Amino acid sequence: MERRSFLRGAAAAPLMPMGAQVGERPAIKITDIKWFLVGTGGRNPNQPGGRNWVIVKVETDQGIHGIGEAYSCGPDEATAKVIEDFKSWLVGQDPRNIEYLWALMYNFTRFPGGSVVNAALSGIEHALWDISGKAAGLPVYMLIGGKLREKIRVYQSAGGEAPAQVADNAKALVEKYGYTAVKMSPHMRDSNRLPYNQVTRMAGKRVQAVREALGPDVDIGVDIHAKFFEVNRAIRMAKEIEPFNPMWLEEPIRPENTDAMTKLAEHVNIPLASGECNYTKYEFREILAAQCLDIIQPDICVCGGLLEMKKIAAMAEAHYAVVAPHNPMGPIATVVNVHFAASTPNFKILEYHPDDRSPRKDVLKEPLMVKDGYIPVPNKPGLGIELDEAAIRKFPPRPWRRGFEFREDGSVAFI
């Protein structure tokens, strides 16, 4: 991956180490940055379910290491190559100078990063926080504002084809894990190929079935997954499911047009949520200024990392919006999100996947577990977790992409 001429040799301006020592603080230097691709066991590498987890490990000359997780964008080998490139920028630097190193990666990339570059940057940034917490002998959340809450509310998505099947699955999740909220798709299979009215009508039946199964008090998030391009489609579906009091309508339309989202907000009484496809404080500035979302959903593995998400949350707080982080990745991502949630006033709820089955339960030596719908806040230094490198070698990666979807006439649909 080509960067700038300053990396090509000694003749160019070198990357100078910043703040090797402040007062009596012992010096720490980054000596290596490693990455691991961990397969999640999908059967078909060309279909959903076969994605990988992109894990980052930063090592130092003091024997302290940190781990983080980058987003799995699809071409995961590309993300790994960016991590390798960033390594040549960061070796020799003090890992605790997180703002400085973030600016170094972001500014010297020159063009605003897309998903692959921002994923690599985010995963490295997590590991820097892990090192900083271990060096200070404190949990990471104590370095970014302290602990606001003792436990983190979480939710899980319920799948299923027929309305009754989704309802049964949602009820089973609530009974097993004690969730006070679940999420679901309003779409039946092949919805991109079905008539518009059928999709809308069945969305109402699906949400109604889950509401009747869970009763009036469990929150239900409804995720359109940005499959709609037209504002009117989202308005029609919102009116169909509104009687069942959803917690939010997630990604109701594509994320590129903030004015379109504002138009939608003017016609919908359900809280609107979005943001998983947006990066850094700069993109969220426009969204928040438009006052079109009630809930923002940045992803800590691709938005720029933990500190960047804290900045985004602070901007949201000033606009009276809450944060429900997007969290579809692995166990390390969940832990980083827990530290964010523990220290953030306007945190609402965290997307969660239970770490009680392989390969999720094997990646970390002691993964965080849900208890009665909440994850207890850890108290160990750093992120409070350790990677099981022997275990992850049992789960080799494989190339993957998201499944393609087409409309009935053969045109390319949104997924």
Chain segment 55-87, per-residue pLDDT in tens:
999 999 999 999 999 999 989 999 999 999 999
Say if 226 falls within a structural domain: yes
Mean pLDDT of 180-197: 96
CA distance 41 to 43: 6
Tell me how far apart the alpha carbons of residues 113 and 121 are, in angstroms, rounded to a whole number.
9
Residue-range definition of the domain harbouring residue 34: 5-138
Q: What is the pLDDT of residue 137?
A: 98
**Residue 200 has what pLDDT?**
97
Q: Are strands 151-158 and 374-376 parallel, antiparallel or unpaired?
A: antiparallel
pLDDT at 49: 53
Compute how many other C-beta atoms are within 10 angstroms of the C-beta atom of residue 199.
22
The confidence score (pLDDT) of residue 399 equals: 87
Please check the confidence at residue 29 and state whether its pLDDT lies above 70: yes
How much of the chain, in percent, has pLDDT values that exceed 70? 92
226 and 290 belong to one structural domain: yes
Whether the pLDDT of residue 389 is over 70: the answer is yes
Are 257 and 295 in a shared domain? yes
Residue 393 within a domain: no
* Residue 201 shares a structural domain with residue 214: yes
Q: Which of 39-53, 99-113, 118-132, 187-201 has the lowest mean pLDDT?
A: 39-53
Q: Let me know if residue 276 belongs to a domain.
A: yes
Same domain, yes or no: 127 and 149: no
Give me the CATH number covering residue 114. Answer: 3.30.390.10
Q: Answer yes or no: do 52 and 161 share one domain.
A: no
**Angle 9-10-16 from CA coordinates, rounded to 5°:** 110
* Cis bond before residue 331 (omega within 30° of 0): no
The answer on pLDDT for 12 being more than 60 is no
Q: What is the pLDDT of residue 20?
A: 47
User: Phi first, then psi: what are they for 413, rounded to 5°?
Assistant: -100, 175
- Write out the catalytic residue numbers: 225, 326
Q: What is the domain-level CATH number for residue 373? A: 3.20.20.120
Same domain as 281, residue 251: yes
pLDDT at res. 318: 98
For the ranges 45-59, 103-117, 124-138, which has the lowest average pLDDT? 45-59
pLDDT for 357-386, tens place per residue?
999 999 999 999 999 999 999 999 999 999
Is residue 218's pLDDT more than 70?
A: yes
Beta pairing, strands 65-70 & 52-60? antiparallel
Closest CA to 124 of 30, 194, 224: 30
Residue 46: the pLDDT is: 45
Angle at 326 between CA 324 and CA 331, to 5 degrees: 115
Query: 48 and 95: one domain?
Result: yes
Which of 123, 138, 153 marks a domain boundary?
Answer: 138
Give yes or no for residue 197 having a pLDDT over 90.
yes
Last residue of a domain, one of 110, 138, 166: 138
- If asked whether residues 90 and 224 sit together in one domain, one would say no
The percentage of the chain sitting over the pLDDT mark of 90, rounded to a whole number, equals 89
Within this chain, do residues 173 and 132 fall inside the same structural domain, yes or no?
A: no
Q: Are both 85 and 123 inside the same structural domain? A: yes
Residue 413 in any domain: the answer is no
Residue pLDDT, tens place only, 133-162: 999 999 999 999 999 999 999 999 999 999
Asked if residue 282 and residue 364 are part of one domain, the reply reads yes
Q: What is the pTM of this model?
A: 0.93
Beta strand pairing status for 219-223 and 248-250?
parallel
Q: Residue 321 half-sphere exposure, CB side, CA atoms within 13 Å? A: 29
Provide the mean pLDDT of the chain: 93
Higher model confidence: residue 363 or residue 49? 363
Whether residues 117 and 208 fall in one domain: no
Total tally of structural domains belonging to the chain: 2
Model confidence band, residue 18 (pLDDT cutoffs 50, 70, 90): low
Using a 10 angstrom Cβ sphere, with 0-12 exposed, 13-18 middle and 19 or more buried, the burial of residue 322 is: buried
pLDDT of residue 401: 85
Q: What is the pLDDT of residues 399-414, one digit of tens each?
A: 888 889 999 999 999 9
Report how far residue 290's alpha carbon sits from residue 284's, in angstroms, rounded to the nearest whole number. Answer: 10
